[in-house]
Amino acid sequence: MCGICGVLALNGARAASEAELRAMAGVIFHRGPDDEGYYTAAPAGFGFRRLAIVDLAGGHQPMSNEDGTIWIVFNGEIYNHAEYRQDLERRGHRYSTRSDTETIIHLYEEYGDDCVHYLRGMFAFAIWDTKKQRLFCARDRLGIKPFYYTISRGRFAFASEMKALFELPGMRAEMNRAALPEFFALGYISSEETMYAGVRKLLPGHRMGIQLGEASPQPRIERYWDLDITPDESISSEDEYVQRFDELFTESVRLRLMSDVPLGVFLSGGLDSSAIAATMTRLVKERIQTFSVGYAEDQFSELPYAKNVAAHIGAEYNQVLMGPDDFFGALPQLIWHEDEPLVWPSSVALNFVSRLARQKVIVVLTGEGGDEIFAGYLKYRATLWNLRYGPTYRKLVPGTLRGLVAKSLESGVLPEGLSRKLRHTFLYRPENFENMYFDNWYSVFPQAMQGKLFTRELADELRATDAYKNSMAFFAKDGGPESLLSRLLYLDIKTYLVELLMKQDQMSMAASIESRVPFLDHKLVEFAARIPARHKVRYLSGKYLLRRAMAGRLPDEVLNRTKMGFPTPVKPWLRHQLSERVEKVLTDGRLEERRLLNPGYVRDLLDAHRRGRADATDAIWRLLNFELWCRVAFDRDAQLLSKPRVDRTEVQTAKP
């Protein structure tokens, strides 16, 4: 795991000085505190920061082939690199290291751009081919590793984190105002654009080439991998599906144990991370290290489940407790690390548990992706139900009566808990997909509300911008009801999951920790994508095959518990302990001076939440992060960037 950056002069002149590359690499020092390296030879320049994990002595980058005609900077891990070594040596390639980086170089020499098809793992890399005068870049299939780029003043520049791009002379951070509707609705941008004007991301499963010598060299981007979601009915029985999943999952975990440094697992106490921990225990001889995060507020803490799993598998258990002061104090620094506003409060918890883990290990396995490939979220089952029975309801029930039902769900006649659940159903929601799915489960500020949130000037500027257009590009409208679940999962894998993985990468790398995601081995994902829906969802419960595979390996209370989803006590904190500090940030005049958001609307939200008239937790969280991001990214408010501390760790060792 590393940090990479580089510059290509599109006119073939000198790309960048070593001082410029050092500045780019220096700002992402946290991604690789163990080593650095630079390549400067017009018209290309590379910078590199290394977190040494495999071949500690020989993995220095930038790395070249035998004669120095091919150069690479690479971030990630290729778990199957050793499989190709003997064949590549037979073809005449000479290895000088044990690193996976060198295998990528030789695969590129043999197969060109198609080298990506041979790579099993997580990766973002750039290759400079001196003979062809061509830059080749690629990102892994699911987007586990980041790759950002821009073109400025005749130079193409790339980096693992956007902040490195702004170290280049003449490169200024400017807000991408056109992205604001999608950001305030969903919290992330589903296209190649980012929150910064002119800065783009290479999408997962895509590769890019830039050929110098052309009249106007420009990136040529193509998708090299996609998911087939056609149901596979060739497997005859449910038991075979369980067996095949178990084989692929075990292989995926085994591959991700490749390391020359200590490794552990993030353990939330949920099914996904517990399944990884239990499988990992079967594959290693030593007792594994688990790391968990929780809170003093018991109703938000999953620590009892995590402790139970650790004891059940005989693991060493480590935990960190967070409080509201830790949480609020860490936000500016973590926003700086992520380069964009934090989408979810769980990002803070993830960073704290990463810092805890860094005290003992360098690599951790995590459970990201299990919900998106095996339909773990309630929203999938509810959407299937809504889209299946909603049309019948609207056909049989008169519009006047439907209107009365919807109004009753807002009136307070029913108990709040029941009313809140029913507002997620077709009894309350309009029939269009965007409202039934995005506004129902994702949107903090649905597009229909943004006229109140934005100033009149900004609302007029963005009137034609569709907040859901980027996401809807990944949702196939055709297909019968049998394919609906697969289409929903495909949509989230291409959008929501990419943001989760960015959070996982940036928050763990901020602590110089490499995180690996066994559920997102592309062979496992390809298998899961074609499993018929009946084997993913059963009796309104998701992840059916995973539960079956883990039966007998995990405690029943973990197998059958309701998903909590990495909860954080943000609601009570924003209403009580953090109320004054948050209000100060949002009402001290600086937000109003930006002339983007309506300050009266923001004050009303704060007041309604503080008085308990409304639950505006998600809205206030998004507003707070947006304003802090503006202060960090554009105001360059140095006073905000004090490093968070993890000083309340507790280590408990479970009995073997």
Number of domains comprising the chain = 2
Of the candidates 305, 297, 306, the one whose C-alpha atom is nearest the C-alpha of residue 266 is 306
Asked if the structure places residue 201 within a domain, the reply is yes
The answer, yes or no, to whether residue 69 has pLDDT greater than 60, is yes
Residue 656: pLDDT band (50, 70, 90) is: very low
The verdict on 162 and 95 lying in the same domain is: yes
pLDDT at 647: 43
pLDDT at 134: 98
Which residues on neighbouring strands pair with residue 6, listed in sequence order?
A: 46, 158
The answer, yes or no, to whether residue 3 has pLDDT greater than 80, is yes
Asked if the structure places residue 425 within a domain, the reply is no
Asked if the structure places residue 401 within a domain, the reply is no
The verdict on 208 and 269 lying in the same domain is: no
Where are the extended beta strands (E) located within 130-219? 134-139, 148-152, 155-159, 200-201, 206-211
Residue 296: pLDDT band (50, 70, 90) is: confident
Domain extent, residue 262, equals 240-323+344-373+495-565
Asked if the structure places residue 300 within a domain, the reply is yes
The crossing angle, in degrees rounded to 10, of helices 484-494 and 496-509 is 40
Digit-coded pLDDT (tens) for 28-57 = 999 999 999 999 998 999 999 998 887 777
From residue 263, how far is each of 271, 364, 478 by CA, in Å?
Answer: 20, 5, 44
pLDDT at 363: 95
The verdict on 58 and 188 lying in the same domain is: yes
Asked if the structure places residue 172 within a domain, the reply is yes
The answer, yes or no, to whether residue 99 has pLDDT greater than 60, is yes
Asked if the structure places residue 438 within a domain, the reply is no
Cβ neighbours for 51, distance < 8 A, ≥ 6 positions apart: 1, 2, 31, 32, 33, 34, 362, 509, 512, 514
Q: What is the CATH number of the domain that holds 140?
A: 3.60.20.10
pLDDT at 646: 43
pLDDT at 262: 87
**Least confident segment among 20-29, 173-182, 369-378, 479-488:** 479-488
The answer, yes or no, to whether residue 491 has pLDDT greater than 80, is yes
The answer, yes or no, to whether residue 639 has pLDDT greater than 90, is no
Is residue 2 among the annotated active site residues?
Answer: yes
The verdict on 191 and 307 lying in the same domain is: no
Distance of alpha carbon 194 from alpha carbon 196, whole angstroms: 5
Asked if the structure places residue 183 within a domain, the reply is yes
Query: Where is the domain boundary, 192, 223, 254?
Result: 223
Mean pLDDT throughout 5-13? 95
The verdict on 83 and 192 lying in the same domain is: yes
**Least confident segment among 92-96, 103-107, 556-560, 570-574:** 556-560
Of the candidates 390, 389, 384, the one whose C-alpha atom is nearest the C-alpha of residue 540 is 384
Cis link prior to 341 (omega < 30° from 0)?
no
The verdict on 285 and 212 lying in the same domain is: no
pTM for the predicted model, two decimal places:
0.95
The verdict on 268 and 303 lying in the same domain is: yes
pLDDT at 563: 64
pLDDT at 613: 85
The verdict on 248 and 216 lying in the same domain is: no
**Half-sphere exposure of 397 toward its Cβ, with a 13 Å CA cutoff?**
15
Residue 476: pLDDT band (50, 70, 90) is: confident
Residue 105: pLDDT band (50, 70, 90) is: very high
**Least confident segment among 67-76, 403-412, 620-629:** 403-412
Asked if the structure places residue 257 within a domain, the reply is yes
The verdict on 191 and 312 lying in the same domain is: no
Tell how strand 289-295 and strand 263-266 pair up.
Answer: parallel
The verdict on 182 and 60 lying in the same domain is: yes
Query: Where is the domain boundary, 191, 223, 255?
Result: 223
**Least confident segment among 40-44, 338-342, 379-383, 408-412:** 408-412
Which residues on neighbouring strands pair with residue 290, listed in sequence order?
A: 265, 317
Residue 417: pLDDT band (50, 70, 90) is: confident
Return left, alpha or beta for 85; rule: phi > 0 is left, psi -120 to 50 is alpha, else beta. alpha
The answer, yes or no, to whether residue 654 has pLDDT greater than 60, is no
pLDDT at 566: 58
The verdict on 123 and 162 lying in the same domain is: yes
Digit-coded pLDDT (tens) for 262-280 = 899 999 989 999 999 999 9
Q: What is the CATH number of the domain that holds 257?
A: 3.40.50.620
The verdict on 248 and 200 lying in the same domain is: no
Higher pLDDT, 602 or 430: 602
What percent of the chain is modeled with pLDDT above 90?
Answer: 78
Selecting among 2, 5, 137, 630, the annotated active-site residue is 2
Residue 540: pLDDT band (50, 70, 90) is: low
Average pLDDT over the chain, rounded to an integer: 92
**Least confident segment among 92-106, 184-198, 419-433:** 419-433
